[in-house]
Structure 1
């Protein structure tokens, strides 16, 4: 491997086996953002160059301070499972696994997606480097064999963002692929010019996705719900600034403000206060607010769309319940 390595301290060389730590090795990697530059997969030569001797490497593996992922590939025990599985198979993280690693939207990264070069050999089970891949069940692992846009892009264990997006477009539902494209652009993982290469690399049947891309979205769930509403024929404006309120995620038909909550963000009490204050201010300005959860956007889009349809109808025609409640009150009063 060609990444530059730096030993933070030589002290571990003088200590016992329990003191040897791979955390003294830093990999200067401009492509990797999720680990602040830390190199998680290193070769035997990298370890030797850092000052370790062969007996140190053997002792570190035996003491579980170091994992021998596959031949000539080593990692820390706490290294991400998807990274270990991809390297152990004999490839690199791909598709949604690569998106999660690089830092843009991935709908479901539970399974490890692995890109395998067509000329690859000695493929192994994702769970054991001693078991050939052909003899192992592939549950939990998705293999990608498509040729890459740029095999030199990315890291030793993860394909580059352009290839990850090309794989996602062909592997995932269109709405999730759109969210990946939107957020990759928004987070500056790719440039607008890269879209030409990405769409030239995939079948023409996916070309319609390009006209729906909008890099202004803050998060993948916003992209998914916006596309849901637009596909249903509603006019959607995103990241709209409203006086006294600030920016809102989506404004539908000029009257319904839709706020899409994230998957993992647990709000503090102060954030709840801020949201309720925004809702009150929006109501005072004549807007209706719909707050939708991540799980509802992803797993119950029909229910989210029905809720929006009702709110838009209320904005346009008023609520039928207003008369019904007044009528019922009159009957009870009589």
Structure 2
């Protein structure tokens, strides 16, 4: 018999077998030593809020909500995504927006699990997100090792044929969501580029475009301190000595203003071509 996952719902009968009494359960809930989001469902304190809310709603956490909880890149999570076991809505109207998911799961979770398996969360995320966001999510899951490369064909075999274009664009070499989104921007420009390139004297860079333009994706998390900025500028200086130019769009522009990033890249590449023509 499978062991329950760390974040699992416990039934009253399970706890009674462990020596609890009904009076002890009521006291533990009142004192916060146990959570009881719905009837006959007890959770350990500290359980992730999204898991608690999914349990309260009578289902399991799924899609982008579950992937974000696991550290997979998703462009946005604007509601709680819950997979329901049946068509009955057994809870009062929640205070937050809920996106309900139905249908057969391809990976059967433990009966006490509060979340679907990653494979099914990814299937739903492909359907729920715009194509470019879905590509970035799949890239992230592959890079983190939460989805094996050989499972990708199986995943898309369970989806309608219109999602085949997303399958063709997946590339696990990208190490972050913004990198994946930037890769799609470069593809749309029709230029040649290499991913995760090691340059002697500079180090590894995110992209090299047409052999001369380095493009790095800068996030607040990794590039906000002065030490990080100083390191980046010295890398750019070393690259310039080798004949490279460097462009560093910030992650929030890549995610939310992609047309501006694309215009900047197009201008840089066009300027190089114009200078060569002159």
Q: Same fold (TM over 0.5)?
A: yes
Alignment of structure 1 residues 279-318 onto 2, 5 Å: 279-318=236-275
Aligned equivalents of 1:178 and 1:218: distance in 2?
13
1:123 aligns with 2:90: yes
Question: Are residues 1:234 and 2:191 paired?
Answer: yes
Distance 1:283 1:47, change over 3 A: farther
Equivalent position to 2:155, from 164, 189, 198: 198
2:14 corresponds to 1:57: no
In the TM superposition, residue 50 of structure 1 has moved relative to its aligned partner by 4.6
Partner of 1:270: 227
2:132 counterpart of 1:164: no
- Matched-pair contact (CA < 8 Å) for 1:114–1:143: yes
Question: Could you tell me the TM-score, scaled by structure 1's length?
Answer: 0.76
Unaligned runs of 5+ in 1: 5-28, 30-37, 125-130, 320-334
For the 8 Å contact 1:263–1:295, the answer to whether it is kept is: no
| 2:171 pairs with 1:214 | yes
Shift of 1:274: 1.3
User: 2:180 matched to 1:223?
Assistant: yes
2: CA distance, partners of 1:155 / 1:257:
49
Q: Among residues 177, 189, 192, which one is paired with 2:134 in the alignment? A: 177
Give the 3-state SS of the residue equivalent to 1:250 in structure 2.
strand
Query: In the aligned structure 1, how far is the partner of 2:60 from the partner of 2:78?
Result: 16
Count of aligned positions: 277
Confirm or deny: 8 A CA contact 2:8 2:113 kept in the other structure.
Answer: no
More deviation, 182-191/64-73: 64-73
Give distance in 2, aligned partners of 1:301 and 1:247: 24
Query: In angstroms, what is the RMSD of aligned CA positions?
Result: 2.5
Structure 2 CA distance for aligned equivalents of residues 313 and 68 of structure 1 = 61
- Cα distance, 1:62 vs. partner? 1.3
For the residues of structure 1 that align with 2:229 and 2:256, how far apart are their CA atoms?
A: 24
- After superposition, give the CA deviation of every residue in 1:107-146 in whole Å (9 maximum; x if it has no partner): 11242111113x353532xxxxxx2xxxx36852111113
Structure 2 unaligned spans of 5+ = none
Shift of 1:212: 1.1
> 1:210, 1:299 → 2: CA distance?
23
Q: Post-superposition shift, 1:318?
A: 3.5
Contact 1:234/1:253, CA 8 A, preserved across alignment? yes
> Max radius of gyration: which structure?
1
